[in-house]
Structure 1
Amino acid sequence: MNTWLQRLREDVRPQLHLALPIMGAQLSQTGMAVVDTMMTGHYDAADLAAVSVGSSLWLPVYLLIAGTLLAITPRVAHADGAGDPGRLRGYLGSALVLAALLGVAGAVLLLAAGALLPALGVPMEIAGLATRYLAGVALGFPALAIYHVFRAVSEGLQRTRAVLWVGLIALALNIPANALLIFGAGPVPALGAFGCGLATALAFWAMALAMAAYVIASPACAAVGRFWQGIAPAWSHARDVLVIGLPIGLAIFFEVTLFAAIAVLVAGFGETVVAAHQIALNYASLTFMLPLGLALALTVRVGYARGRGTPELARRWAASGMVLAVITGLLLALLMLLTAGVVVRLYTPDPAIRELAASLILLAAVFQLSDTLQVNAGNALRGYEDTRAIMLITLPAYWIVGLGSGVLLAHGIGPLPALGVHGFWIGLLVGLSTAAGLLGARLRWIAHRACGEAAAGQTASRSVTAA
């Protein structure tokens, strides 16, 4: 037991060293969403509802793009572990062009998305405000996609502090930009939800410029060469990003659209329910950044161990990462249970919204462990570049099990009463728990298979040598 604990400490320490700056970066990014919600909530309830509905549309599109570009991180980590990151230059240059194209496509999609809101049952006033909010956010989408290529290089080379500083810069810019554009000052009119979208776009451009400046100027990233100059796209490289990354992006998309679909479905319940749902989701998303930081670091660790040709080490680090995920999930659940009442007071003075939001946060605390386990198992599998299985697992887990049970519970099943918005949140718990169990089983199998293949290869090599 002592040996096991000592090994666990040895494995966890470097993962935390990588993960803590990523956690900070993710918290600062989610902090922008928290600031958006708080500031629009103090401006007007309709604008808060519009930001909630609009966020439920642009976040899935963004995460589909960002998830696709996550294919770059394990590739960089693998090459770094093999001692040859420079071989990625052409690959990364093509990825940069692909990211710009994806960002523009995402912006166009957002500009068209507002037309769908009335058809989905969103009240006209909220739909109009949400459409303008989406137009503001769309202006920053190309920059956000480009940022993720430079971020992937930095993280893949285990230079994660830069990602933290860039996130803090964006948050520091977002707060005064929100204050100016939402509420207005001097010659600048109060723009409400639209101003919130514009402030978000400005923060995205700041992130892209700061991250690019770091990778271009830092000696720590010199090993990959001046890949940003090799912008002549090679289809083979872009296709490789898509083949590995698109399943990642779709898996994330399935999860986030589960939350987005619920946000749209509860929009018909009225402004109070929508606002409470957004507050609870904001807090749950904020706490989720901690396990997500651990998970992104786990991708790098597993990819690096594979690049070194040590599958047993990759399996060990993956197992240690899952133990750390269990501990983190339990601690976060306890934190949310203890702070629900205090947190909702920071968002709104409305007592009805506070009471409903606090009850939803209690449900979010229950599914925190499942969410932590599924994101860490999924990211360990990304380190193995086993991405198609993630997509095939998460689609039914989120959309059939999660959303299906949520709809049934929200509207009542047989003798059971309709639980309203609480039914949807119980459905989230069921879907995330299903995904956690299946992804964990897949990770265990793929890690054992990689070790078995390595052992078989060594046996065959010794046989040839002996002959």
Structure 2
Amino acid sequence: MYETTNRRQKIKLFIIIMLPILVTQVSMNLMNFFDTVMSGQASAVDLAGVAIGSSLWIPILTAVNGIVLAITPIIAQLIGAKEKKDIPQVIQQGIYLSIVLSCIILIAGFFILDPVLHLMSLEPDVHHVAKYYLVSLATGIMPLFIFHTVRSFMDGLGQTRASMIIILISLPINALLNYIFIFGKLGIPAFGGVGAGIATSITYWIVSIISLYMIHRVAPFTSYQIFQVRFKPQISYWLSQLKIGLPIGLAMFFETSIFSAVTIMMSVYDTNTIAAHQAAMNFAGLLYMLPLSVGMALTIAVGFEIGAKRFKDARSYTYLGITGGILIAVFTGIILFVFDGAVARLYHTNPEVITLTKQFILFAIFYQLADAIGAPIQGALRGYKDVNVTLVLALISYWLIGLPVGYLFANYTDFDAFGYWIGIIVGLSAGAAALLFRLLYIQRKVKVKQNYQMKRS
């Protein structure tokens, strides 16, 4: 990161920061994409099982990633304020915290996985695939969260290309491992959808090892000497990170868990409907990486400018990101509308599944617009370290508005399963509008504070 003096420089720097984040996010999402698509080629049962497993895993993943993501604005503001000496302690404590969080998830999963799956009344084969997909995936949770901690450090420095390189190295490895474990190659039994969990877990270990090596041995990260002095775990640092990260994580959990809740509520439908729903949701999730990357880049840029007390520049980056998000929404909408059939055929060859997937994709076009506005605003608010109100807005928008609306449309109108997607659209739209008002309030508050300080000086 560096200071910019005009709009053209800001656009250039923002693109330099965002593009590697975009490649990284898309590539990481492609791992889930490969899991789903390649499992679907095995059978509809494997596709449905991985769909259910993913719907349970992704909210937990995003919640913990949100906690870890707090390191990005912390590092960005430290760099902006030229306080580099505190960075090694922050990163080491973040790694300790990620290990503790991983242990908590593993212990909780041991006790609640079976009861949750039994509540869903799944077909026996789908139940089996979902359970052991998650069990396999669980073996890679700890290295995954360590990687995300290291990645947040890299991104906070503005060195977003480093994490991009790591993921680009691991992506073909993940695809190859999926091929081996799902279909049974090189003398290994065909595990079907469960094999996708095994492959992804191994990939998580690979990215973690590479990332730790890079910050220990590769410039410019070596200049921060992250591991030269070993710090003992300190709960005070964990609490400091949790103060920012927990609201971020819970807000992201509320947003992603509504999709999982919808998938769970749709478990009463037949396997083809579940498979089609997940196929459309999986591809829409891939496209969501575009506005999400804008939001993550805004966290870095806004955090850096706030740390340097250049509040006007922080606002400029914010509006730049929101504009980009809207343009992205138009682009992704066109992609979904024009290529709905091609997208559906990526996931399955069953004509009924393809037809249902195309219908779900039409609804995805509308919620992409709300996502493309809301995600950049969330990123900007994280840069301001304003996270608590965002958490409340997420809970209200997604769970108190979106999900009830979806339930009513699904159960009391002719929309049937598609009614849940209407609820998603309503919830995301309400969230985006509320976040915009919050952003405008925070910007006015910062401006008033700045004017007051200028008058006193």
Q: Helix, strand or coil for the counterpart of 2:347? A: coil
Deviations 1:338-390, CA, capped at 9 Å, x for gaps: 11111111211111111110111111011111011111111100000001011
- TM-score normalised to the size of structure 2? 0.96
Q: Closer, same or farther in 2 for the Cα pair 1:229/1:339, shift >3 Å? A: farther
SS at match of 1:117: helix
Pair 1:442 & 2:438 matched: yes
User: Does residue 451 in structure 1 map to residue 429 in structure 2?
Assistant: no
Number of residue pairs matched by the alignment? 452
Question: What are the ranges of 5 or more consecutive residues in structure 1 without an aligned counterpart?
Answer: 1-5, 462-467
- CA distance in structure 2 between the partners assigned to 1:12 and 1:420 by the alignment: 44
User: Does structure 2 retain, via aligned residues, the 8 Å contact 1:371–1:436?
Assistant: yes
Structure 2 alignment gaps of length 5 or more: none
Q: Which residue pairs with 2:86 in the alignment?
A: 87
Secondary structure class of the residue paired with 2:220: helix
Report the counterpart of residue 338 of structure 2 in structure 1. Answer: 338
Query: What's the offset of the Cα at 1:449?
Result: 1.0
Show the 5 A alignment for 1:235-384: 235-384=235-384
> SS where residue 21 of structure 2 aligns?
helix
In 2, the alpha carbon distance for the partners of 1:33 and 1:360 equals: 19
Structure 1 equivalent of residue 403 of structure 2? 403
Q: Is the 8 A contact 1:292 1:375 kept in 2?
A: yes
1:317: Cα distance to partner? 1.3
**Counterpart pick for 1:425 among 416, 421, 425:** 421
Equivalent residue letter for 1:328: I
Provide the C-alpha distance between the structure 1 equivalents of 2:171 and 2:186, rounded to a whole number of angstroms: 23
Structure 2 Cα separation of the partners of residues 366 and 285 of structure 1: 13
Q: Which moved more, 1:100-109 or 1:236-245?
A: 100-109
Q: Is contact 2:91-2:226 (8 Å) kept?
A: no
User: How far apart are 1:9 and its partner, in Å?
Assistant: 4.3
Give, as a single letter, the amino acid of the residue that structure 2 aligns with 1:303: G
Deviation of the 1:124 alpha carbon: 2.9
- Return the offset for 1:180: 1.0
Match of 2:14 in 1: 15
Give the match's secondary structure for 2:339: helix
Aligned partners of 2:187 and 2:218: how far apart in 1? 40
The answer to whether the 8 Å contact 1:157/1:221 transfers is no
Matches within 5 A, 1:109-128: 109-112=108-111, 113-128=113-128
Question: Partner residue of 2:54?
Answer: 55
Q: How far apart are residue 434 of structure 1 and its match? A: 0.3
Please name the residue that 1:26 is paired with. 25
Q: Which amino acid aligns with 1:449?
A: K
Aligned residue type for 2:181: L
The letter for the 1-side match of 2:419 is: G
Counterpart contact for 1:111–1:138, Cα < 8 Å: no
2:95–2:146: 8 Å Cα contact kept in structure 1? yes
The answer on whether the counterparts of 1:96 and 1:228 sit within 8 Å (CA) in structure 2 is no
Is residue 62–residue 106 contact of structure 1 (8 Å, CA) maintained in 2? no
**Corresponding residue SS for 2:188:** coil
Distance 1:182 1:244 in 2: 39
Maintained 8 Å contact 1:68/1:246: yes
* More displaced stretch, 262-271 vs 122-131: 122-131
**Structure 1 residues 8 and 281, CA gap change in structure 2 (3 angstroms):** farther
Give the whole-Å Cα distance in 2 for the aligned partners of 1:396 and 1:242. 22
1:34-73 matches, cutoff 5 A: 34-73=33-72
Q: CA deviation at 1:143?
A: 0.5
Secondary structure of the 1:219 match is: coil
**Alpha-carbon distance, 1:42 to partner:** 1.0
